Amino acid sequence: MKKFSSLARAFAAIGIVALHFSSPASAATSGAPPTRPTVVLVHGAFAESASWNEVARDLRARSFSVVAAANPLRGLKSDADYVAAIVGSIPGPVVLVGHSYGGSVISAAAAGKTNVKALVFIAAFAPEVGESAVDLSGKFPGSTLGPTLAAPVVLPGGAKDLYIQQDKFGKQFADDVAPATAQLMAVTQRPITEGALGEAAPSAAWKTIPSWFIYGDRDKNIPPAALAFMAERAKAVKTVVVKGASHVVMTSRPKLVSRLIVEAADSVEAPAERP
């Protein structure tokens, strides 16, 4: 009997551990609703969740709960539904942050989510309904992404995965990142389907949710003129242009990015503090 009780306790403990690791969004915000907004970080194409490491480190040091979502990069609507499910599992207000294609994702994911109080676009697309990432990147001259792409990887269903050629990744994507780090980023890059970049946006949450923008003036993926256009169109609360910064400004200038996210979060908290 004692042996059975010990086994039961052991299996119960294993179950608790499994639950903790299988539900990262809920685990990050378990218990009572947080007093500060939860920050959900959504990476874009050719990046992955670790690109937020330094931003997340800084936000956690400021007592924010942070979830770095693993954006599937399979299709805009399906990716947005995935992020929306994470947002829906979080109690309390959320600041939704997107990089590059991740901006399209957060703008769609926030639709109908009343707990999303602010959007932060990090060198990111903010499409109008019906616009795609391809439409916006081609709206102004300056993107040099096309020639740096490797031959597409054809998937079993016929879809095509896109990668940046590893030897061209640093100059194209992360020109202001230390070469050794940029090389690792090239190796660990996540592919996006060609279809996802061409898929029309189903909604545009930036029309109703306050938005902040930050981008580098040496972005080679999305022309800075396109980023400025989107920020102005969204009537951004604040737009920061970082001199000399590449497309991965969250990796190369994490303090500037986290500072803007904190400003957005503070704006969420402010109304509750007023009498």
* Stretch 239-265: mean pLDDT: 98
Two tokens at 161?
């995965």
Q: How far apart are CA 212 and CA 238, in angstroms?
A: 5
Residue 32 in this model has a pLDDT that exceeds 80: no
Residue bearing the bigger pLDDT, 32 or 91: 91
Supply the pLDDT for residue 154.
Answer: 98
Residue 25 in this model has a pLDDT that exceeds 60: no
Predicted confidence (pLDDT) per residue in 121-170, tens digit: 999 999 999 999 999 999 999 999 999 999 999 999 999 999 999 999 99
Supply the pLDDT for residue 270.
Answer: 55
pTM, entire model: 0.87
Q: Which residues pair with 239 in a beta bridge?
A: 213
Residue 203 in this model has a pLDDT that exceeds 60: yes
Q: How far apart are CA 194 and CA 198, in angstroms?
A: 7
Residue 9 in this model has a pLDDT that exceeds 60: no
Supply the pLDDT for residue 268.
Answer: 85
DSSP 108: H
Q: 138 near 198, Cβ under 8 Å?
A: no
* Stretch 12-29: mean pLDDT: 37
Supply the pLDDT for residue 151.
Answer: 98
Q: Indicate the helix (H) or strand (E) that contains 103.
A: helix 101-109
Residue 82 in this model has a pLDDT that exceeds 70: yes
Predicted confidence (pLDDT) per residue in 56-76, tens digit: 999 999 999 999 999 999 999
5 CB-near residues (< 8 Å, 6+ apart): none
Three-state DSSP at 120 gives: strand
Output the average pLDDT for the chain. Answer: 89
Any idea which residue has 């306790």 for tokens?
A: 9
Residue 12 in this model has a pLDDT that exceeds 60: no
- Per cent of the chain over pLDDT 70 is 85
Residue 28 in this model has a pLDDT that exceeds 90: no
Supply the pLDDT for residue 18.
Answer: 34
* Stretch 229-244: mean pLDDT: 98
- Per cent of the chain over pLDDT 90 is 84
Two tokens at 102?
């991740």
* Stretch 21-45: mean pLDDT: 66
Predicted confidence (pLDDT) per residue in 103-120, tens digit: 999 999 999 999 999 999
Q: 189 near 104, Cβ under 8 Å?
A: no
Amino acid at 252: S
Residue 273 in this model has a pLDDT that exceeds 50: no
Supply the pLDDT for residue 55.
Answer: 98
* Position 100 confidence tier, pLDDT thresholds 50, 70, 90: very high
Amino acid at 113: K
Q: 139 near 226, Cβ under 8 Å?
A: yes
Residue 266 in this model has a pLDDT that exceeds 60: yes
